[in-house]
Amino acid sequence: MKGDKEEKRSFVQKMAAFIVDKRNGFFLMYIGLAVFCAVASGWVSVNNDISSYLPEETETRQGLTLMEDFTTFATADVMVDNISYEKAEHISNRLEKLEGVKSVEFDETEEHFKNASALFSVTFDCESNTEEAEAALNRVTTEVSGYDAYIKSDAVDTTSARLDEEMSVIMVIAVVVIVAVLLLTSRTYAEIPVLLITFGTAAILNKGTNFIFGEISFISNSVAVVLQLALAIDYAIILCHRYSEERVIMQPRDAAITALSKAIPEISGSCLTTISGLGAMMFMKFGIGFDMGIVLIKAICISILCVFTLMPGLLMLFSKLIDKTHHRNFVPDITPVGKFAVKTRFVIPPVFAVVLVGAFLLQAKCPYVYGYSMITTAKQNESQIAEQKIEDTFGSDNLIAMLVPAGDYDKEARLLADLEEIDGVTGTLGLANTEASDGYMLTDSLKTRQFAELTDLDIEVARLLYSAYAADKEDYGQIVSGIDDYGVPLIDMFMYLYDQKEAGYVTLDDDLNEELDDLHEQLDDALAQLKTDDYTRLLIFSDMPEEGQETFDFLDRIHRVAEKYYPEGVCLVGNSTSDRDLSSSFVKDNTMISVLSAVFVIIVLIFTFKSAGLPVLLILVIEGSIWMNFSFPYLTSTNLFFMSYLVVSSIQMGANIDYAIVITSRYQDLKERKKPKEAAVAAVNQAFPTILTSGTILATAGILIGRLSSDPAVSSIGECLGRGTIISIILVMLVLPQILVLGDIIIEKTAFTLKKRAPVQSGTGTMRVNGRVRGYVSGVIDADVHGVLHGSINAMVETGGMEKIDKGLIEDGHKTKEKEENANKENTKEKGVQEDESKK
């Protein structure tokens, strides 16, 4: 018999039994994986450069690739407040003597000393993000530690470390909030450690497995854990509630198996909507979308795996505590809210429609920005405070690098001169306009006599030097036609002279030798920073804002001037060009994300509810919450980082749709035994605990990230996510029920089912019922009934019917039946007496 029962089990039930029975094996597996992932989390490479995720075809991305061949020394702006000029000079001299410092720019102009504040422009002798740069920056910091000092530097990128610290604080607060919410909404206190262990394990596994991607963005690295917890907590709660329901009538093992077998299809369907929304991000041209999408999808999948394979064993392990720690329900009954929603079904939907149109128009005017300079976060770190202080006192320069084909110094000089004539350009810098000595620029072409006069070389020595240079360059015609007419760029001849001196072919006096050594060091640095074999880098300083249409038009003017000299085109690189490229990418990604996330979720909903009309109604509510969410920045005149829309709209569509699904699913079930209005009221009340738990956790996580993170991108995502979740909850609880009731006809007409559902029949009193009954009969019933019921009924009666009968006939029938039963008893008694007598 036992074998027959096992054979009748479905595959899901067999799998659930295997997971529960082999729970100790799964415990050991997860302990091993957790230890491995705790170690592997240190292998994850984090990319702090958001511009590196730009599409390859963008100007900034191409320019950054070309600039990898240039040397860029680390720098720092050090501002010391409340100081005299004499004291500032003393500090400048001390800074210049520090190990690792190449130079310190400081003078009495307002660019460096203003209102008793000194600004030192420090250049280090190493590149950024190296141990040497970090050590040198620490020495500078120590040197000015006794003053009211502010330091802004690119020497060390502390973004990841700072975000890790901030997210650790956020995570602790989030866990406290989650525990408080679970205490309120759980059915037993012992559920909470089960949930925390499950998601603690899932978080460690997800963070540790990120190394398989090679590199992830600092945004994904920072928010993945919190969002993983907030997005996937529903799945564990569903299994917990299922277990509690089955435990009432089953032993722990059977309850865990049954609960898991029932929860697997339910959870799998729910997670598909979340994964669909996150999957839409992966189609963004801006690579950060793919990065966040794949990391969060992995997080959701790992969370589901832990819920399916780890949590059942934990429920068994804590089963006795779970049984002993049941508590009363703290979630209030909100039936009045449902009744209010039904009564206002002809008022709220029209108002919602008007608000929806308004929100759509307002969100289109959302003031998006594409860089950090125009965003202020609720919390500011030391670097942001220093940068703001320096800019408020001395202003800021918008630096743009231009890459042009190398080889024509004269063309570069004319281009630099024309660029300085453009409105908004405050200065330029290149080899062609950098003075070497006596009014000569580094790239000026000098003949033998000019070079001899500049360097105090004998004219004959200069001629020999020029002849050797011409031979080295295989320019023999110049030697034949006359070396005195041969012009060589000053920087090239200086470098050649130094090489000849070092090789021992030229001997110089001590003063000239020392001067040439100093000059060679400067020229070598200049060449490393401004020239490669293929490209020359020109620097353009501007007082234009970092972004905006005015700035983008300014970049176009620069391009037009440069194209007169380089028709094949030049490449501009800087914060402004990056912002413009991000702006162009956003326009395409915005439309793509909105359409794909909606389409993916609709497809999942169609298969879930087997209706064409119902998914449209649900999407309308969630899309409306997205539009309302991104209307707020326009209404409050607050700049919004563009990526917040792309990320949050995907998460909001994928995750918040679950709230609508919860109410809709319950409404569909309840409608089979109740009238639509009654079903809507009951659905709101029954779905409230689930929505309250999940929504509160997700909204809290978003708000905490928004308020406690100093990174503008991360903070902006958190703020929008928290606000969007709250709006979604309000719409789902107060607007969706009315839409379901009013749209019930559409739902029924567009259902994908050939079998017509039996109508719900109602009655009170005495009724004869013949057929399969599913509905409310002074309690819920789902059975084949053949007989008479006394009381009230509101149910579907399939393959039969129901009719009300006269009470008097029933009483006569009962009397007749009673007489028959008494007669049968008497006959049985007499038969027994006769048998006894025969035996005697």
CA angle, 401 then 487 then 483, to 5°: 155
Q: What is the pLDDT of residue 692?
A: 85
Q: Is the pLDDT reported for residue 800 higher than 60?
A: no
Give the pLDDT score at 771: 60
Residue 102 pLDDT more than 70? Answer: yes
What does the pLDDT average to over 349-376? Answer: 90
What DSSP string describes 718-782? HHHHHHHHHHHHHHHHHTHHHHHHHTHHHHHHTB--SSPPPPEEEEEEEEEEEEEEEEESSSEEE
> Residue 775's pLDDT band (boundaries 50, 70, 90)?
low
Query: What is the per-residue pLDDT across 820-837, written as a single tens digit (0 to 9) for each?
Result: 555 555 555 555 545 555
Nearest one of 775, 777, 808 to 790, comparing CA atoms: 777
pLDDT of residue 177: 85
| Res. 598: pLDDT tops 90 | no
DSSP 8-state code for residue 212: G
What confidence tier does 39 reach under pLDDT thresholds 50, 70, 90? Answer: very high
Beta strands in 345-459 (DSSP E): 368-369, 398-405, 425-429, 435-437, 440-441, 445-446
Overall average pLDDT of the 749-758 stretch: 59
Please check whether residue 712 is in contact with residue 597, taking contact to mean a CB–CB distance below 8 angstroms: no
pLDDT at 284 over 60: yes
If pLDDT is split at 50, 70 and 90, which confidence band does 5 have?
A: very low
pLDDT for 770 equals: 62
- Using DSSP's 3-state secondary structure scheme, residue 544 falls into coil
Q: Within 10 Å of residue 707's Cβ, how many Cβ atoms?
A: 16
**Out of 532-546, 621-635, 741-755, least confident range:** 741-755
What residues contact 26, with CB distance under 8 A and at least 6 apart? 19, 309, 310, 313
| pLDDT category of residue 572 using cuts at 50, 70 and 90 | very high
Digit-coded pLDDT (tens) for 666-710: 888 788 778 888 888 888 888 888 888 888 888 888 899 899 988
The reported pLDDT for the residue numbered 401 is 93
Residue 6 pLDDT: 46
Residue with tokens 């450069």: 49
- Kindly tell me if the per-residue pLDDT of 432 is higher than 80: yes
pLDDT of residue 787: 58
Name the burial class of residue 155, with classes exposed (0-12), middle (13-18) and buried (19+) by CB atoms within 10 angstroms of its CB.
Answer: buried
SS3 (DSSP) at 104: strand
661: exposed, middle or buried (Cβ count in 10 Å: 0-12, 13-18, 19+): buried
Q: What is the pLDDT of residues 133-167, one digit of tens each?
A: 999 999 999 999 989 999 999 888 888 788 888 88
Out of 144-158, 322-336, 437-451, give the one with best mean pLDDT. 144-158
First to last CA, the chain: 46
The reported pLDDT for the residue numbered 471 is 87
Least confidently predicted of 78-92, 275-289, 354-368, 776-790: 776-790
Helix (H, G, I), strand (E, B) or coil at 330: coil
Percent of the chain with pLDDT over 90: 27
Mean pLDDT along residues 546-550 = 90
Range of 477-481, 615-619, 829-833 with top mean pLDDT: 615-619
Res 4: pLDDT: 45
Contact predicate 402/537, CB 8 Å: yes
Whether the Cβ atoms of residue 245 and residue 260 lie closer than 8 Å to each other: no
The dihedral of CA 379, 385, 389, 392: what is its sign? negative
pLDDT at 805: 52
pLDDT at 763 (0 to 100):
64
Helices marked H in 537-612 — which ranges? 549-563, 575-609
Report CA-CA distances (Å) from 264 to 239, 269, 270, 313. Answer: 9, 9, 10, 15
Res 238: pLDDT: 79
Is the pLDDT reported for residue 80 higher than 90? yes
pLDDT (0 to 100) of residue 311: 92
Separation of alpha carbons 770 and 491, rounded Å = 105
Q: What's the whole-number mean pLDDT along residues 582-588?
A: 83
pLDDT score for 45: 86
Q: Using the predicted structure, report yes or no on whether residue 52 has a pLDDT greater than 60.
A: yes
As to burial, measured by CB atoms within 10 angstroms (0-12 exposed, 13-18 middle, 19+ buried), residue 781 is middle
For residue range 807-819, list pLDDT tens digits in order. 454 455 445 445 5
Q: How confident is the model at residue 90 (pLDDT cuts 50, 70, 90)?
A: very high
Give residue 762's pLDDT: 61
| Confidence at residue 809, expressed as pLDDT on a 0 to 100 scale | 43
Q: Find residue 774's DSSP bridge partners.
A: 782, 796
Given a cut of 90, is residue 122 above it in pLDDT?
A: yes
In this prediction, residue 673 carries a pLDDT of 78
SS3 656: coil
pLDDT category at 795 given cuts 50, 70, 90 is low
Q: What is the mean pLDDT of the chain?
A: 83
Tell me the C-alpha distance between 56 and 569, whole Å: 17
Give the lowest-confidence range in 529-538, 577-586, 590-599.
590-599
Question: What pLDDT is stored for residue 440 in this prediction?
Answer: 84
Q: pLDDT at residue 777 above 70?
A: no
Kindly indicate the confidence band of residue 1, based on its pLDDT and cuts at 50, 70 and 90. very low
Average pLDDT (249-271) is 85
pLDDT beyond 70 at 711: yes
Please give the full DSSP string across 253-322, using - where no structure is assigned: HHHHHHHHHHHHHHHHHHHHHHHHHHHHHTT-SSHHHHHHHHHHHHHHHHHHHHHHHTHHHHHHHTHHHH
Report pLDDT for 13: 86
Give the predicted TM-score (pTM) of the model.
0.76
Q: Tell me the per-residue pLDDT of 181-198, one tens digit each, with 9 for 90 and over.
A: 888 888 788 888 998 899
**In terms of pLDDT, which residue wins out, 36 or 672?**
36
